[in-house]
Structure 1
Amino acid sequence: MSQKKVMLVYSLKNTFVLKDIALLDQMGYNVVTIQSAPNRDLFRFTWNRIKEFIQGFFLVAKSEVVFSWFNDYHSVVPFFLAKCFNKKRILIVGGYDAISSPKLDYGIFLKNNFRQFLARWNYANANEIWVVHKSLAQGCPNAKQQDGTLSGIQNFIQGLKPLIREVPTAYDDRFWKKNGDRNKKGIITVANISDQRTFRRKGIPLFLKLAEELPDYQFTICGIQNPISNKQILPKNITLYGKLNRDALKIQYGYHQFYFQASHIEGLPNVLCEAMLCECIPLGTNVFGIPDVIGDTGHIFNASDSLKTVISFIRSLGNPQKLGEKARQRIAKHYSISKREMAFKEVLSTNAHEK
């Protein structure tokens, strides 16, 4: 008997995309994909849309459901074809696609242009919208107060008909676990940093400031491009790494006592969850999904305030091992693979499609 097909479209091959492909495959589905890397070049942009139509025409008709990771140009053609073939359309929202931040020059709703028009069409024509955290549907008041960042699909589009569900990303607690000795004065942050906008959005300036305030601690940044050329502008107690594979990243998490997530905008940070599974004690800003991930297992702070409370928490911590174990248990309980699998099963077992 042939496997049922599902389609997943995306722009970048991020970890969470690969995890969903693997999960659907493990569930017994034949996952067909269309990747359209973001391009500003007119020729490549146009070619992406042509490719999406040609591939999509043959693949959508044979697929049970079309999933799109993030709402952008790459979603439009597959969703249009899925609508024509009366196939279910699920839009997975991760952050950028529910934001308008003039200060950080970020978000699909920032500019009233054709791109936003298409994003609105995608939202209106999805059967379901999955947000990785509820703040991407309802908005984040703290982000608005601190940076003037507007957020929440429902705040940008009133009366949206598709069902909006909170479906968090999931993490493998069998893989992500602590191994080896731990540096009790080690603090790490991980982000794919390719430009100054991402550098600021991920809160790296605050991480550098913390390193200056704690010269007797060792700080590590993983994921920064051109780490050697950036070394000259950093405090001496910071070590830089480029992009690491998951095995190398697990070693880094296991070596550091604390994980620092100072993002100004973030849906549900994958790296924070991975680090907590490796028993890192989380330090994070009070915006979007970060406080819900951390709960009572670490320290939550306001990025616009001083770092005094963060420093006080780090220096006064009495039983880091117990708190690290508690952090691991929290992620294993609330962000398990089985919960995401349940959401996939639910949508794939429902045969009712709406045009």
Structure 2
Amino acid sequence: MRVLFVSPGLMGAERGTGKLASFQQVDLELLQELGYEVRPLLWYGRPLGQLFRGARWADVVFCWSISDHALASSLVARRLACVVGGYEFANLPECHYGSMLTTRMRWLTKWVWKRADALLYVDPSLEEEATRAFGSPGRAFYVPTGYDSTFWTPGDAPRQNIAVTVCHAPTPERIRLKGVDLFLEAARANPEFEFHVVGELPPGMRGQDLGPNVVADGWLERDDLRDLYRRAKVYCQFSLHEGLPNAVCEAMLCGCVPVGTRSYGIPTAMDDAGFLVERDVGAISEGIRAAMEREDLRGRARDHIVRTFPVERRRRELKEILERLVSAL
């Protein structure tokens, strides 16, 4: 099978470097390991010529997310599969987030939704969101992302009283969307703990003193992020919207106890291995303090991700879906 793999690539400080996000890289490698002939195409600068040539060559075009690249692919692909990761059917005007906010993106998303041969939702909550937008989830398959439990592992060093959150939040609206505002409020309410924010922050927050117990780490390479997870006791995700949150799953594999809000895929990731809280600083602080003391949940957190979201599950389900699509050509 010949597959054209089209993806926007990394956001933030790494944008335009030719790198994929970790979960996209996993998919690329899975398709290659299945023995398919795979051509990756990172969608920077709208390389339409490469896309059209690749789509004519490929049996199937595999797109991460729905945007201009998926629209262009839908015009020429023999078969089209699109991963739905969270943004596609969202409508959060207060955070300037989601494709349903503008007439153009709503039209574009509906066009692809109608024509894609497979929409691969990473969490059932996103199928429900698509149904609210357009009346059905389209040609839907629930295929959660998979996580490498051989890389994301607990370390041997003693845990410290550290809570971590990871975000791409270059604007104040994204700060609210990702719950970083609540994380920083919780830091002020719990001076005995150290709070780490990993990722991009708005220009006005960079270099600021966010608090005596807050560390802004910026973007970290995977090895450095894993080292931080291994030192931390708690991982926090207070987003208003998530698909299946990758950082939560990776941190849980490293033995962090998760604390998160009841939002879209966050409860799916956490299951009963952490603390679900309301979007209230008092409740969040209580959850963080409780998680700091629950050594017994570290193994449960890791076991849940290993059991529920292994890379092998995603490999098997992608193989079944893509080969079914191509066999119908």
Normalising by structure 1, report the TM-score.
Answer: 0.84
Matching of residues 106-145 of structure 1 within 5 Å: 106-111=97-102, 113-138=103-128
Decide which of 64, 68, 76 is 1:81's aligned counterpart.
76
Q: C-alpha displacement at 1:60, in angstroms? A: 1.6
Tell me the residue number matched to 1:97: 88
Specify whether residues 187 and 61 from structure 1 end up closer, same or farther in structure 2 by C-alpha distance, changes over 3 A only.
same
Shift of 1:7: 1.0
Matches within 5 A, 1:268-287: 268-287=244-263
- Output the CA distance in 2 between the equivalents of 1:71 and 1:293: 23
Q: Which runs of 5+ in 2 are unaligned?
A: 10-19
Residues 227 and 242 in structure 1, CA contact (< 8 A), matched pair in contact too? no
Which residue does the alignment assign to 2:30? 23
Structure 1: which 5+ runs fail to align?
A: 38-43, 139-151
Which residue of the other structure, out of 157, 163, 166, is the alignment partner of 1:181? 157
**Partner deviation per Cα, 1:201-223 (whole Å, 9 max, x = no partner):** 11000000000110011111111
1:186 alignment partner, SS class: strand
Larger deviation, residues 58-67 vs 329-338: 58-67
1:128 CA drift (Å): 1.1
C-alpha separation in 1, matches of 2:131 and 2:99 = 14
Deviation, 1:36, is 1.9
Q: CA deviation at 1:103?
A: 1.4
Q: Deviations over 1:202-255 (max 9, x none)?
A: 100000000011001111111135899634241110011111111000000000
1:317 and 1:130 mapped to 2: Cα distance? 33
Alpha-carbon shift at residue 286 of structure 1 (Å): 0.3
User: Whole-Å Cα distance in 2 between the matches of residues 157 and 198 of structure 1?
Assistant: 26
Q: What amino acid does structure 2 have at the position aligned with 1:289?
A: G
Q: Secondary structure at the match of 1:109?
A: helix
Task: Give, in angstroms, the shift of residue 302 of structure 1.
Answer: 1.6
Q: 1:5 aligns with which of 2, 7, 13?
A: 2
Counterparts of 1:213-292 in structure 2 under 5 Å? Answer: 213-225=189-201, 230-292=206-268
2:41 to 34, 52, 69: 34
Contact 1:5–1:63, Cα closer than 8 Å, also in 2: yes
CA–CA separation in structure 1 for the residues paired with 2:55 and 2:196 = 44
The answer for the alignment partner of 1:145 in structure 2 is: none
Q: 1:23 to 1:227 in 2, by over 3 A?
A: farther
Aligned partner letter, 1:157: F
CA distance in 2, matches of 1:299, 1:36: 38
- Which protein is bigger by CA-based radius of gyration? 1
**Distance in 2 between residues matched to 1:256 and 1:169, nearest whole Å:** 24
- In 2, the alpha carbon distance for the partners of 1:317 and 1:287 equals 19
CA RMSD between the two structures: 2.0
Question: In the superposition, relative to structure 1, how do residues 316 and 268 fare at CA in structure 2: closer, same or farther (>3 Å)?
Answer: closer
Give the aligned partner of residue 337 of structure 1: 311
Matched, 1:323 2:313: no
* CA distance in 2 between partners of 1:228 and 1:100 (Å): 26
**1:316, distance to aligned residue in structure 2 (A):** 4.4
Equivalent-residue separation in structure 1 for 2:148 and 2:116 (angstroms)? 29
What amino acid is aligned across from residue 34 of structure 1 in structure 2?
Answer: L
Partner residue of 1:310 out of 274, 284, 289: 284
What is the distance in 2 between the residues matched to 1:133 and 1:229?
32
Query: Does the Cα contact within 8 Å between 1:299 and 1:310 map onto a contact in 2?
Result: no
Percent identical among aligned pairs is 29
- Contact 1:180–1:255 (Cα < 8 Å) also in 2: no
CA distance in 1, matches of 2:149, 2:32: 19
Q: SS where residue 119 of structure 1 aligns? A: helix
Task: Give the structure 2 partner of residue 206 of structure 1.
Answer: 182
> Shift in Å at residue 349 of structure 1?
2.1
In 1: Cα distance, 2:159 partner to 2:203 partner: 22
CA distance in 1, matches of 2:178, 2:289: 24
> Could you tell me whether the CA contact under 8 Å between 1:182 and 1:256 is conserved in 2?
no
Q: Is the 8 A contact 1:202 1:262 kept in 2?
A: yes
Residue 93 of structure 1: how far off its partner (Å): 0.6
Relative to structure 1, is the Cα distance of residues 89 and 218 closer, same or farther in structure 2, using a 3 angstrom cutoff?
same
2:275 and 2:291 in contact (8 A); partners too: no
Q: Distance in 2 between matches of 1:35 and 1:316?
A: 42
